[in-house]
Amino acid sequence: MVQAEDNRHHKQLRRQLVNGIRGKGITDEAVLGAIFNTPRQWFMPQPLQDAAYEDKAFPIGEGQTISQPYTVAYQTELLQLKTTDRVLEIGTGSGYQAVILAQLAAEVFSMERQKKLYNRNKSFTYLRQFTNLHLFFGDGYEGLPEQAPFDKILVTAAAQQVPPRLLEQLKVNGQVVLPLGQDPVQKMVRVTKLEDGNFYQEVFDDFSFVPMLEGKKE
C-alpha cells in the first residue's frame, strides 16, 4: 500500500467515524481508541484512499475486502480483550484488523492463505512497528498449533461451522468469534471453551463476509 501522509484532516475524519461507530452501539473505549489511532487509508489501494473513513467495506484485491470499520469494532468488542491475551487472527487481509488487535492484546498471530496478500503485508512498513504482531502464511482451518494455546481467536471470513482445529487451540475459558452461515448473510457467533471441555455458543447480529476457504493459495 502507498503510505501517504496522515494529517489533521484524516484525524478529523477518524473522529467522525469513531463517533458514528459509538452511535451504533459500540461502547468499548479501548476498541474505539484503537480505531481512532489507526490510519485506515494506509491499508487501502490508492484510488480508494479518499473514501477510507466511510463506514464501508472496500475491495483490496485477490477477491478480498477491508472490512467495514463498524464490523471490525463489533468483532473486536466481542473478543473482550485483555492486555495479556495471545490472539490468533484467521484472515490477515489488508492488515487493518490485525493492527487494531495488536494495540489491545499482548501478542497477535495473524494468518493469511493468499501468498500475495501475505507478501504485501510482510513488506508493509507500518505493520513492522507492531513488534507484537506476527504474520503467517497458511491454512486458517488448521490454525497455528505450534503457537497454541490462544486466549482468543478471531475469524474474519464466513465458515459453515467452527473449524475443529481452532477449538482445539483455545485455552480453557478462551473464546473464538466468527461469522457462521452461508452467503449472503451470516450470524456473528462467540464460542467459549468451558472447563469441562464443552463449548458455550452465543449468537449475535447479522453480517456479510467473504467465505472462509480451505488450503493455501500460492
- Give which of 166, 193, 196, 195 is closest to 178, Cα–Cα: 166
Active-site residue, from 67, 110, 123, 208: 67
Region at 16 (left for phi over 0; alpha for psi -120 to 50; beta for the rest): alpha
C-alpha cell at 170: 483455545
Residue 49 C-alpha cell reads as 484512499
Rounded to the nearest 10 degrees, the angle between the axes of helix 69-79 and helix 29-37 is: 140
- Whether 208 is a known active-site residue: answer no
Distance (Å, whole) CA 144 – CA 51: 34
Q: Helices in the chain by DSSP H: which ranges?
A: 8-23, 29-37, 69-79, 96-102, 115-122, 125-128, 164-168
Supply the residues annotated as catalytic. 67
